Structure 1
Amino acid sequence: MHWTVLDSPIGEFSVATDGTSVQGTHFGRVDAAVDEPTDPLSWQAVTELRAYFAGELTAFTVPVSVPRGSEFERAVWREMTRIPYGETSTYGEVARVVGDPGAARAVGVACNRNPVPVIVPCHRIVGAGGKLVGFGGGLPRKVHLLELEARVALQRAWS
């Protein structure tokens, strides 16, 4: 596993690749992280993340592989990737889509266990009525990501 750290508007952000896919991301610096990518996939991941944080990228193309998680968690993580850029869904809505309407809290747990935050956009899931609740990276980071996406989506819609 190769970890690379980049500076971002939400602080240091680390990304892990295995040569074929992104395996994880982390808010902050991971001890083993280097400051410059060491392989083509790490370069692609860092380049896409920088473009995302700059408001220039709305869809990641870097390959992602999540080798762990329960069937339910993996279903939630897949659903996260279907929430359009600049939009949100609620924990309850995601629970319904993945087939367990009473599992809103379990969706929250799956969000917290998301091994690839930002690329797999758990920040797009909010509480009932749009309430901002919970985020592994802290609510200020969630607000920043949602505001970035809303601003960029609005700019693109009006251009």
Structure 2
Amino acid sequence: MSEDDALTTLRARLVAEAADQGLLDVAYRTLDTPIGRLLIAATPVGLVRVAFECEDNNEVLAELAGQISPRVLEAPRRLDPVAAELDEYFAGTRRDFDVPLDYALSSGFRQTVQRYLPHIGYGQTQTYKQVAEQVGNQGAVRAVGTACATNPLPVVVPCHRVLRSDGTLGGYRGGLAAKGALLTLEGAG
């Protein structure tokens, strides 16, 4: 057995033992997509974080360890359902995500906005102002922008569907090229 095979076997055994003993609070893996490599992470509640390639994976994992639990482990198989849905989305065969979500990294108004975003249909867009009105706070346009900018679940919670009032993209955690690519994939841009 090669050293790489032995390491893979050991890692798989550690993941299985951690899961069996209830010691795995956050599982993560990476996934290659048309918009770059994504780091996806889940708790027993559901998907908790989607991070773009431009985000430092070590910082993302440290954030998860600090805000969720220090028991974070690379456990790709636990995220197979999320990876499958993302693959289907990028292939153009999935319009809505069914995986359970964990909103533990958001609270208050930000979480209210993020929970609303999946109601913006595939291929559709709304402005920050329209989202503010939909969540019952028409004066909170900038706060909606902040909620979108800090969305821990981009792509799955589609903050890319929110645009400026003049129709321009605005900002995006994964960069404007990624936001434009997602809108183009959906036929919205």
**TM exceeding 0.5:** yes
**Percent identity between the aligned chains?**
40
CA shift digits 1:90-146 (9 cap, x unpaired): 000001111111111110001011110000000000000321111111100000000
Q: How far apart, CA to CA, are the structure 2 residues paired with 1:123 and 1:133?
A: 9
Gaps of 5+ in 2: 1-25, 62-72
1:14-52 deviations in Å (ceiling 9; x for gaps): 110123411111002734685x7222xx11000101111
Larger Rg: 2
Secondary structure, aligned partner of 2:98: coil
Alignment of 1:30 with 2:57, yes or no, is yes
The TM-score, its normalising length taken from structure 2, stands at: 0.73
- 8 Å contact kept, 2:43–2:102: no
Q: Quick one: which amino acid aligns to residue 50 of structure 1?
A: D
Which ranges in structure 1 are unaligned for 5 or more consecutive residues?
152-159
Whole-Å Cα distance in 2 between the matches of residues 20 and 149 of structure 1? 28
2:44 aligns to what SS in structure 1? coil
Distance 1:130 1:25 in 2: 26
Q: TM-score, normalised by structure 1?
A: 0.87
Provide the residue aligned with 1:98 in structure 2: 135
Q: Which residue of 2 aligns with 1:71?
A: 108
State the shift of 1:77 in Å: 0.6
Report the CA distance between 1:69 and its aligned residue: 2.4
State how far apart, in whole Å, the 1-side matches of 2:49 and 2:102 are.
Answer: 8
Whether 1:125 aligns to 2:158 is no
What RMSD in Å do the two structures reach over aligned CA positions?
1.7
2:44 corresponds to 1:16:
no
Q: Distance in 1 between matches of 2:106 and 2:81?
A: 25
SS of match in other structure, 1:7: strand
1:54 Cα deviation after fit:
1.2
**SS, match of residue 170 in structure 2:** coil
User: Aligned residues, how many?
Assistant: 148
The CA distance in 2 between the partners of 1:111 and 1:71, in whole Å, is: 13
